[in-house]
Amino acid sequence: MGTIKIAVLVLHIIVSIMLIVSVLLHSGKGSGLAGGILGGAGGTMFSGTHIVEKNLDRITIISGIIFALTSIGLVWLYS
């Protein structure tokens, strides 16, 4: 049982770091860091910024779901 606890804990730490990074990369009302990756080209010439934002949304949602599941799993394993 100790190996499962350690594996879930390591997964939880990795996912929490991914979640922090993906939330910090999201743009606010400006173009944000995700828009700055393409040099501020914006949506006028390139549609790459929209694709980056879409993928970043997916990564954030998936990371949040995995974070919630590992949180519940850790509570269940350590109680």
pLDDT, tens only, 21-76: 999 988 765 555 555 555 555 545 556 678 888 999 999 999 999 999 999 999 99
What residue segments make up the domains of the chain, in order of their start?
2-78
**C-alpha to C-alpha distance for 34 and 71, rounded to whole angstroms:** 28
Provide Rg for the chain, Cα atoms. Answer: 17
- For residues 25 and 56, is the Cβ–Cβ distance under 8 A? yes
Match 């606890």 to its residue by tokens. 5
pTM for the full model? 0.72
Per-residue model confidence (pLDDT) at position 37: 59
